Structure 1
Amino acid sequence: MDQHAALTESLAHPLGSAPTARGEYARLWRESRFDRMECLNARFEQHAYAPHTHETYVIGVITAGTELYRYRGVLHSAVAGDVVVLNPDELHDGRPAGEGFAYRIFYPPVALLEQTLADALGRPARPSFTDTILKDPELFRVIQALHRGLEEPGGDALRLETDALRAFAATALRHGDLTARPRPAGSEPLAVRRARDYLDSHLDAVVELADLAEAVGLSRFHLLRVFRAAVGTTPHGYLTDRRVHRAKEMLGGPLPLAEIAAACGFCDQAHLNRVFKARVGVAPGQYRRGSNPVQDGRSAAA
């Protein structure tokens, strides 16, 4: 049995067309054949995501209910049948509306989409998406089928790789801007760049706003204003987000959760658990295992 088969076998659970029983569940795994792309299948009735970013794209489908999320300063409502896409490093949150929502999400690394488009176009390209909610029933079916196929044990490798290439290429070619260029690194004001560098180098330490302001040569008030304007969140929000990213990296290693919490600047393991789940959707231990046990055993995947 190969590594992928062993992993997906450990995630096996009856699949249905939509969740029918009450209760939240979330199942996360990584696909080594696709640059360790994270995949999430979840239903949330109460869980609300704190504002956060991903270093990857976000591409997925809403399979039941309605999700509300703020993205680029606008509140969006994604309903069953919608395809949702987010660009890398864009601040957003998420919460259920009404009785909740279920979705299947891919987090493809930037390099994966760039390689997909290089294969499709014969030239390098990096898509940027202006619209975050896509009304594209055919693309919805393709993405949902790929996600289900990857979750099922024993999937045919050639078919899955073919389906993934088609799904991600179709998303980018139909709905992406292939002429856009990402903002060059370091294009924000110098003080903001210095503040980000300071925060990145103090992930494991207590950071005082006065110390940060002094380090970049601004008043505390002015720093908060220009930082939010350039980054989209406060220095505290940015620092917390970076700490969670660091924790995700460290969860690939052998350190105990308590040591990871300390190394990433969290007060203790409970603090890490609370902040991590608010941004990732699963707890650190569940993220490390690559899946989240179904919390309501009667629920079926969407």
Structure 2
Amino acid sequence: MKRQDFRFSHRMRVRWVEVDMQKIVFNGHYLMYFDTAVTDYWRQLAMPYAETMHQLGGDLFVKKASLEYHASAEMDDFLQVCMRCDRIGNSSMTFAGAIFRGEELLITSELVYVYADPVAKKSQPIPPPLRDMLAGFERGEDMAQLHVGSWHDFQKQASPLRTEVFVHEQKVPAELEWDEADATALHAVALNRMGMCLATGRLIQHAPGVARIGRMAVKKQMRGSALGQRVLHALIDAARHRGDTQVILHAQCSAEAFYKRSGFVPHGAVFEEAGIAHVEMVLML
């Protein structure tokens, strides 16, 4: 096996707690590495695992987990844990896995999952949407689609996500979350193949030639992916297309680095908004 045989890889570093008295990774931890990588694999499919399985009415159970040891990893090694869905049967799926240190192959694995009723624990056919996501990802397809439109177009998708992130997670009062600007704003949403809204944001006309981006929200399980950046860039492109020369936003201080990566620069002092520290940021178009 070679690293280029896999579309997906999860980068990690060996921790002190994972090595044994021989100063190499204890053999059982490799299975944990693969299990952790599978969690990130679902994220690459733009698939919030628990919510997706609940919607589909099933869950995945490990049927087989085998490891073959070729060489040992040591403390502080950087590893690439690679996974690939090799086979999708009627009710089971088989993953091939490999752990590399640089280009050196250390461990190979085979994981077999059975799709089953979560209560009765009886196998059942893998639903077509799950098959489509697995096969599409392995073919190299985009797992999420960006859409831009009105509140009328996307309220049904964006509203639950904003409630989840701002009202429930960040404890923003509901009366502060919803305002009249939604009706006239341009909204962007990132939807997965099951129609789940994973990221959203809006663009309003702050002043002549000045656009304002706000209500940027990404589903917790999808943070760290590129979805938030894709929504942000879609809104920036929309502002540029309509002739705006400047984009401003109020960034939560914890997300300042995220906006800096897209060219925004801080402007002014930190202030509080809805009980959360913010800073104004500006991007010149």
TM-score relative to the length of structure 2: 0.21
Flag the structure with more relative contact order, 1 or 2, with Cα contacts below 8 A and sequence separation at least 6: 1
Considering fraction of residues, name the structure with more helix: 1
TM-score, normalised relative to structure 1:
0.20
Over alpha carbons, which structure has the higher Rg?
Answer: 2
Specify which structure has the higher proportion of strand.
Answer: 2
